Structure 1
Amino acid sequence: MYELTVEAQFDAAHNLRRYNGPCESLHGHTYKVHVSYAGAELNDLGMLVDFKLLKNTLADVVGYMDHKYLNELPEFKENNPTAEHIARLIFDRMRNALGGGISKVAVWETPTACATYTD
């Protein structure tokens, strides 16, 4: 099995509803995102998928959240915009855009803490 990973980052603000602590207040992060794409077969060029395609697709997906107040996005009207929910959103959007292949998404909220979603 082959696996490729690309990285992007975006800046956004959020607050956690019903949370008893500092994250209940409006605050922001520079999120770092790692997206992995896996498959068993290489194409005739010896690539699983072009890195350019992965990077451009990820840029579009995180661009949707860049410099936004995440709580106002439709995806977070019911669910808190936690790193876990953000990872799932990115996973689903990447998989839909590429027709499969996404194996893992990790969202780093701080340099020392991340949430990962796998299928």
Structure 2
Amino acid sequence: MYKLMVRRDFIAQHFLTVPNAGPENEWHSHHFTVEVELTGDTLNEYGYLVDIDDVKAGLDEIEHRYSDATLNELDEFAGLNPSVEHFARFCCQRIADHVTAKNVDRIDLRIWEDDDAWASYTMAL
């Protein structure tokens, strides 16, 4: 099994919409780190699991969409508590749109919202 990981960080804002979340109910920033791990059993004819530039293009799109944004104001979060779990799913779906390698079986995307807390989303391809 082969794995490849690419990482990106950026700052975005949100406020939780659930009751009694304490200071998390107030608008605040996080320095998010997104880690994308791709997994597959085989390499392509060039010895790659996936073209890293394709993964970076997906991360560029994520950074462009979310950097310095307030998640609550974005269409994909409409009606949702802007949790790091939902955020991980939306980012994983964006990466999947950029990965065309047929030998990638799975994408695992992890978002760290600080040094101690992360959420992840896994997508089988």
- In the superposition, the TM-score normalised over structure 2's length comes to 0.87
Residues 3-18 of structure 1 mapped to structure 2, 5 A cutoff: 3-18=3-18
Give, in angstroms, the shift of residue 99 of structure 1.
Answer: 4.2
Structure 1: give runs of 5+ residues left out of the alignment.
none
Structure 1 contact 106–115 (Cα < 8 Å) conserved: yes
Structure 2: give runs of 5+ residues left out of the alignment.
none
Give, in angstroms, the shift of residue 118 of structure 1.
Answer: 1.4
**Higher strand content, 1 or 2:** 1
Post-superposition CA distance 1:56-104 (Å, at most 9, x none) = 2212123211110110000111111111011000111111232474420
Specify the alignment match of 1:111 in structure 2. 115
Post-superposition CA distance 1:18-74 (Å, at most 9, x none) = 231110001011100001111122112111112222122212123211110110000
* AA matched with 1:89: F
Structure 1 contact 107–114 (Cα < 8 Å) conserved: yes
* Superposition CA RMSD, Å: 1.5
In 1: Cα distance, 2:27 partner to 2:79 partner: 17
Specify the alignment match of 2:36 in structure 1. 35
Residues 43-62 of structure 1 mapped to structure 2, 5 A cutoff: 43-62=44-63
Stretch of structure 1 that moved more, 51-60 or 95-104: 95-104
- In the superposition, the TM-score normalised over structure 1's length comes to 0.92
Count, aligned residues? 119
Structure 2 contact 9–34 (Cα < 8 Å) conserved: yes
